[in-house]
Amino acid sequence: MSNEDRATNAEAMLSVYNINVWYGAIHAIKSVSFDVREGEIVALIGANGAGKSTTLKTVSGLLRSQTGSITFLGDDIMHTPADKLVGRGLAQVPEGRRVFLEMSVEENLEMGAYTQPKTSVAPGIARVYDAFPRLKERRRQVAGTLSGGEQQMLAMGRALMSNPKLLMLDEPSMGLAPILIEQIFQIIEDLHRSGSTILLVEQNAQMALSIATRAYVMETGKVTLTGTGAELLVNDDVRRAYLGG
């Protein structure tokens, strides 16, 4: 790492440097480095199995790197338990949007506020309903009967209840119809405009790059390319591999 990189990293909200993650004998993440600065949407794109989810899980403390460093808001979080990180402002919406299916929409949102003082729950719910009017209409409905898109909105709303400084989204568009994908990306842009910093993992490279401040391309466990969203959208290699020509 050059001195210039160090200076850049010191300013980053999240700085990931040279992480390596194994599942048993499988070397899933190979010397990956990236950072996220305050106010950015940073996208990680790449094919199935590239290591995107593994990277997010390592940042959120569910998996551990054997090497390198991860700092969040200036603190080393390499050994911080996942539940503590939520309280510090790092929220993750996992792949496959795991909401509590037996609970109502509003109960799910309340669960998301477990790190927050009781007095902030009602204002938090009001803010989530502002961002997702659809959830407000369905506040008493059990989550298991929501559509896939509505469950994604609920998973995002629940993460927002922890009042995160950095929101990490793992494939929010997965399994959704095109119209719902548009809606979800619109909401991500709205959150960004109102000040949220976002780390977005996506296979939908077109959509992700079109809203990303910057992006990193992952291939078989490595970062192979980085640039602004606009740069990568017109990059020939990216177009061939991820944008259908």
Ligand X SMILES: Nc1ncnc2c1ncn2[C@@H]1O[C@H](COP(=O)(O)OP(=O)(O)OP(=O)(O)O)[C@@H](O)[C@H]1O
Question: Which residues of the shown chain bind ligand X in the complex (CB under 6 A)?
Answer: 23, 26, 28, 46, 48-54, 95, 203
Q: Does 58 bind Mg ion (CB under 5 A)?
A: no
Q: How far is the CB of 62 from Mg ion (least distance, A)?
A: 13
Question: Which of 53, 65, 115, 151 forms a contact with Mg ion (CB under 5 A)?
Answer: 53
HSE, CB side, 13 Å, CA atoms: give it for residue 183.
15
Q: Does 9 bind Mg ion (CB under 5 A)?
A: no
Number of H helices, E strands in the chain: 11, 10
Q: How far is the CB of 33 from ligand X (least distance, A)?
A: 16
Q: Which residues of 21-55 are buried (b: 16+ CB within 10 A; e: fewer)?
A: beeeeeebbbebbbbbbeebbbbbbbeeebbbbbb
Nearer to ligand X by Cβ, of 52 and 192: the residue is 52
DSSP track, 155-202? HHHHHHTT--SEEEEE-TTTT--HHHHHHHHHHHHHHHHTT-EEEEEE
Q: How far is the CB of 156 from Mg ion (least distance, A)?
A: 17
For Mg ion, the nearest residue by Cβ is 53
Q: How far is the CB of 33 from Mg ion (least distance, A)?
A: 19
Which residues contact Mg ion (rule: CB under 5 A)?
53, 95
